[in-house]
Amino acid sequence: GEKLERFGSIILSRPDPQVLWRKNLNEEEWKKADAIFTRTEISGDWKYKKEKLEKWQMDFANLKFWIKPTAFKHTGLFPEQSVNWFWMKEIIKKEKEINSKKDIDILNLFGYTGGASLSCAKAGAKVVHIDSSKSAISWARENAELSGLTDKPIRWILEDVRLFVSREIKRGNKYDAIIMDPPAFGHGANKEIWKIEENFLPLVENCIKLLKDKPLFFIINGYSAGYSAIAYENVLKSL
């Protein structure tokens, strides 16, 4: 039920419901954790070996990130997503090689701390980064500054993604690619309720209206809700 991870120079122990097996490393290795996240029935909290860790820097996937232990056991980085970032960067770079003057417009919904946005911007795309959390957008901007990408064309927008997409349809704006990493449950910038089982399909259908005639990609990360890849594949089949 736990995983041992190193983020930069810091080792963390966090719960993970997917871990059904016994620990492979001995207890001495687990004792090296600088911070341990413990959860009770009503709350969770980090316990630190020495001083409290507010944040620290980490180099990852040719970018730089601030890592911060949060109240929900997260750190601000999902390392497994780097596979997607590298995949998107290659597509953008190839398109730029064909036409270096062409603007490649990317829409990143539920953008979080900016990993996908920064990767696409670094590859030469123009990015619109949407998130309903003010702290997440601030964090993403900090990561952009840390990675030396403040001069890149990224628009940081604090708004409910459904509201933004609806407005973009009315404005007639189009994108070469769309990225989304929807939570299972959440709130918009003005406390709008998001439930993936109710709101996901209408959002995707609206997003399809925002794609240009020959889009580069539409990528969805579906980890948070626990649905299989088949569910997302069937939603996207209409593309």
pLDDT in tens, 94-105: 999 999 889 999
pTM, two decimals, is 0.94
Task: Give tens-digit pLDDT for 96-150.
Answer: 999 988 999 999 999 999 999 999 999 999 999 999 999 999 999 999 999 999 9
Average pLDDT (223-235) is: 87
Mean pLDDT taken over the chain? 95
pLDDT at 171: 98
pLDDT at 67: 98
Beta strand extents in 79-187 (DSSP E only): 105-109, 126-131, 154-158, 177-180, 185-187
**From edge to edge, which strands make up the β-sheet containing 44-48?**
2-7, 10-15, 35-39, 44-48
Q: Which amino acid is at 217?
A: F
For the cut 90, the answer to whether the pLDDT of residue 224 exceeds it is no
